[in-house]
């Protein structure tokens, strides 16, 4: 039986913020975050993380409402339950919420937990809320309530209580020395850019009622954001410079004075291509931010050094002598960071 897309929506304000927080939670704050390559937006759920070939799925329902009772929290599980009962397989089912009642958790210090951390009375209310909502929705089946499906489903759900500001979610991507990270209002602005891109996906052609047979069928619709696109967006915003499209810093051109215009353009395009490849290689993410951290520290401590002098000072480091980088690419990054940190 085909999976039918239901209950898509256009969220504004606080709801959109929490959908972006849920996306960034998937991207940065799970042990398996590096397995996620794509995010499906408002298709299977608010956000669904997918690996490269959509063989694995992290499905998230997000709710920014505060002051919800345990029963209301149970009602919010209905889309996750629908996906659990579908023919498609979602490896992880996650409810991302703003807060829970004080009487909800056994251990209130745990913000990521399963039903084993929910008090018995609260869990009964969660179950009642889910049953009530399942009966109300036209895309669910009353027969699902029987046969232990509710209890089996609840065993699979991960509850995530938001405990971070917008700025903190962006810091999870910018992995450099805190001394070089912009003020919170700048990080908030970067968060808002990601939120706006995410929200814009909901303005594309409606998908309500569309039928799919495989998780990967979502790639046929314009509802996907790549994790590498978000990393590039954050990098460009972090250094206030479009690494790929903006004019090349004059300090880098000074390194190429001996070459004619054609050769200069070839080197520049190679550098931009290399930077792009590095950003898109999630196995190199930590090393790349370590490199930027090293460059930032060196420039901050030696502002009068030229690009080449800066490069000569760090060229012996393993992070610089990486087979995925050449000398010109590192010097291109140095020139960009020098301009950004002036």
What's the rounded Cα separation, in Å, for the pair 156 and 135? 21
Question: Can you give the pTM of this predicted structure?
Answer: 0.85
Tokens standing for 143?
């027969």
Distances 152 to 79, 81, 156, 157, 201 between C-alpha atoms, Å = 15, 10, 7, 9, 33
Could you write out the three-class secondary structure of 7-39? CCCCCCCHHHHHHHHHHHHHHHCCCCHHHCCEE
Last residue of one domain, picked from the residues 182, 204, 226: 226
Question: Same structural domain for residues 165 and 40?
Answer: yes
Question: Between the CA atoms of 93, 69, 8 and 15, what dihedral angle is there, to the nearest 10 degrees?
Answer: -100
> Which residues of the chain carry a pLDDT beneath 70?
1, 7, 9-13, 342
Q: How many structural domains is the chain composed of? A: 2
pLDDT score at 204? 82
What's the rounded Cα separation, in Å, for the pair 295 and 330? 9
What's the rounded Cα separation, in Å, for the pair 50 and 43? 12
Share above pLDDT 70 across residues of the chain, in percent, rounded to a whole number = 97
Question: Same structural domain for residues 106 and 207?
Answer: yes
Question: Same structural domain for residues 59 and 187?
Answer: yes
- Residue closest to 25 by CA, chosen among 62, 56, 77: 62
Question: Same structural domain for residues 23 and 171?
Answer: yes
- Residue closest to 231 by CA, chosen among 23, 63, 22: 23
Tokens standing for 159?
């509850």
What's the rounded Cα separation, in Å, for the pair 306 and 118? 59
pLDDT score at 12? 58
Q: Is residue 20 part of a domain?
A: yes
pLDDT score at 7? 61
Question: Same structural domain for residues 118 and 191?
Answer: yes
Last residue of one domain, picked from the residues 192, 226, 260: 226
Report the 10 Å Cβ neighbour count for 264.
17
pLDDT tens sequence across 93-123 = 999 999 999 999 999 999 999 999 999 999 9
Question: Same structural domain for residues 13 and 142?
Answer: yes
Question: Same structural domain for residues 100 and 177?
Answer: yes
Domain of 290 in residue numbering reads as 239-340
Burial class from Cβ neighbours inside 10 Å (0-12, 13-18, 19+) for residue 120 reads: exposed
Question: Same structural domain for residues 62 and 198?
Answer: yes
What's the rounded Cα separation, in Å, for the pair 223 and 47? 10
Tokens standing for 37?
């390559």
Q: Is residue 234 part of a domain?
A: no
Question: Same structural domain for residues 207 and 330?
Answer: no
Question: Same structural domain for residues 220 and 243?
Answer: no
């Amino acid at each position: 039986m085909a999976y039918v897309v239901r209950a898509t929506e256009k969220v504004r304000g606080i709801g959109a913020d929490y959908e972006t927080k849920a996306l960034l939670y998937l991207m940065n704050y799970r042990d398996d975050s590096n397995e996620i390559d794509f995010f499906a937006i408002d298709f299977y759920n608010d956000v669904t993380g997918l690996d490269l070939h959509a063989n694995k799925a992290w499905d998230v329902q997000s709710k920014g409402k505060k002051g919800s009772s345990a029963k209301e929290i149970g009602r919010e599980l209905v889309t996750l339950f629908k996906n659990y009962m579908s023919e498609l397989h979602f490896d992880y089912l996650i409810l991302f919420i703003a807060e829970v009642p004080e009487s909800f958790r056994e251990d209130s210090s745990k913000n990521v937990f399963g039903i084993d951390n929910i008090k018995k009375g609260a869990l009964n209310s969660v179950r009642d809320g889910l049953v009530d909502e399942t009966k109300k929705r036209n895309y669910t089946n009353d027969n699902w309530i029987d046969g232990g499906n509710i209890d089996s489903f609840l065993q699979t759900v991960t509850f995530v209580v938001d405990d971070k500001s917008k700025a903190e979610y962006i810091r999870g991507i910018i992995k450099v020395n805190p001394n070089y990270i912009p003020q919170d209002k700048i990080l908030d602005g970067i968060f808002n850019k990601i939120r706006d891109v995410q929200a814009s996906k909901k303005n594309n052609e409606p998908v309500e009622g569309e039928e799919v047979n495989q998780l990967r069928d979502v790639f046929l619709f314009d509802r996907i954001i790549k994790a590498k696109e978000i990393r590039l967006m954050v990098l460009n915003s972090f250094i206030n410079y479009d690494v790929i499209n903006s004019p090349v810093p004059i300090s880098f051109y000074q390194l190429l004075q001996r070459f004619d215009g054609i050769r200069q353009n070839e080197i520049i395009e190679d550098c931009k291509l290399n930077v792009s490849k590095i950003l898109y290689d999630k196995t190199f993410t930590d090393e790349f931010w370590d490199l930027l951290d090293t460059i930032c520290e060196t420039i901050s401590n030696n502002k009068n050094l030229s690009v080449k002098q800066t490069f000569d000072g760090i060229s012996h480091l393993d992070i610089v002598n990486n087979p995925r980088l050449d000398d010109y690419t590192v010097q291109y990054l140095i020139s960009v960071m020098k301009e950004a940190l002036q």
